[in-house]
Structure 1
Amino acid sequence: MTDISPPPLTAQEQAWLAQEDAHVADTIRCHGVCLQIIGGGTCAVPGCGCSTEGSLPFAYTIGLFGIAHPELVVVGLRMPVLATVLNEAASLVLDGARLLPGMEIELTRWDRRLLVEEVPNPGDIAFGANRHYQRPREASVPLLQLSWADRRGRFPMDPAFSGSKRTQPRPGTWDAW
């Protein structure tokens, strides 16, 4: 078995990561959570030319693990809606609520119900949260997916769900790679 290590980071990449780490910590200190939003744009890493256009948009919280709660992830919505949903759901947790798998929740700033589901592969998704909490992929912070109902109130596992099942994949069937 060969151990393949990533190439060493450049000074520019190290400086960018240090700034990113400070930004995440400051945002958590000020707001309780930081949102990591992925997809629908270009990579923010200096010198990286990759594009995330066409990739599955998703976002997750960083900061809830620090108060002994799993981080939250939402998949397949436009960026402003992702942020609204995660900020309001995180506020519930920061105000003392415990979100548990199987719970359905309703938010005041979005008209769809959400189903809380456990994510079996958080180490393949929550890279920023694991970096913040200095956890290896195999001992990842836990993650709960907030699956959203279609306009008629049906969740993706319902055969009559009217949304795209590719847009909102089931927990454990997708990753951030």
Structure 2
Amino acid sequence: MALDACTPLQLQQWQDQEDAWLRDTVRRHGWAVQYAAGAPPFAYTVGLYGFGHPELLVYGLDLQASAWVLNHFGDRVREGERFGPGRPMRLTGWSHRLQLFPFHDGEEPPVLGSAQRYYHRGPADPVPALQLIWDDSAGRFPWDDGYDLPGGLQPAPRP
């Protein structure tokens, strides 16, 4: 459904259904993964904040890879592990290294819109989040010389 072509009532009905799905998914699994197929595509968690952990955001991956990465972290958070900014790390079963950076979602509209709505937060006090930045096939991150993925695929984090 093209949301910009909806009537206000249709938009509210869509939002209500989305919120019901989100509540049910978080209740059953502990978190949900929201995916936006924009340019660039991105995905983020909703529910990790309920475990006392920042939500996680990743840009530039397809739906399957995004869900795999975020669910891998979600499983580890549910088991009590905590992640924060720091040195590059690897996930078993994935060829890329990752680095985590603080992400401030204080703009309107928010990037993590479903998470902000789920926790009743807004631009003045957004849900804490970390952005996962992944390397290219040669192990270079976007700030390294020779990084070979398209510019803008992984926007710089918003501290």
The residue that corresponds to 2:90 in the other structure is 106
Deviation at 1:12, TM superposition (A): 2.8
The residue that corresponds to 2:4 in the other structure is none
Deviation at 1:87, TM superposition (A): 1.0
8 Å CA contact retained: 1:122, 1:143: no
Q: 1:122 and 1:111, CA in 2 relative to 1: closer, same or farther beyond 3 A?
A: farther
8 Å CA contact retained: 1:59, 1:74: yes
Higher relative CO (CA 8 A, sep ≥ 6), structure 1 or 2?
Answer: 2
2:12 pairs with 1:14: yes
TM-score by length of structure 1 reads 0.78
2:121 to 117, 135, 146: 135
Q: Equivalents in 1 of 2:26, 2:95: separation in Å? A: 27
Q: 1:69 and 1:122, CA in 2 relative to 1: closer, same or farther beyond 3 A?
A: farther
Unaligned runs of 5+ in 2: 1-6
The residue that corresponds to 2:45 in the other structure is 61
Q: Which amino acid aligns with 2:69?
A: V
Structure having the higher Rg: 1
Deviates more, 1:22-31 or 1:156-165: 156-165
Q: Deviations over 1:40-68 (max 9, x none)?
A: xxxxxxxxxxxx4xx21000000011111
Structure 2 residue matching 1:139: 3-state secondary structure: coil
Deviation at 1:125, TM superposition (A): 1.2
Deviation at 1:154, TM superposition (A): 1.7
Q: Equivalents in 2 of 1:12, 1:20: separation in Å? A: 12
8 Å CA contact retained: 1:71, 1:144: yes
Unaligned runs of 5+ in 1: 1-8, 40-51
Q: 1:31-46 alignment to 2 at 5 Å?
A: 31-39=29-37
Displacement over 6 Å in runs of 4+: none
Q: 1:162 and 1:23, CA in 2 relative to 1: closer, same or farther beyond 3 A?
A: same
Structure 2 residue matching 1:145: 3-state secondary structure: strand
Deviation at 1:122, TM superposition (A): 5.0
2:130 pairs with 1:144: yes
Q: Deviations over 1:103-140 (max 9, x none)?
A: 43221232111101111345531111000011112211
Q: Which amino acid aligns with 1:61?
A: T
2:99 pairs with 1:115: yes
8 Å CA contact retained: 1:122, 1:141: no
2:14 pairs with 1:28: no
2:111 pairs with 1:125: yes
The residue that corresponds to 1:170 in the other structure is 156
Deviation at 1:70, TM superposition (A): 0.6
Deviation at 1:75, TM superposition (A): 0.3
Deviates more, 1:137-146 or 1:121-130: 121-130
Q: Equivalents in 2 of 1:63, 1:31: separation in Å? A: 9
Aligned length: 151
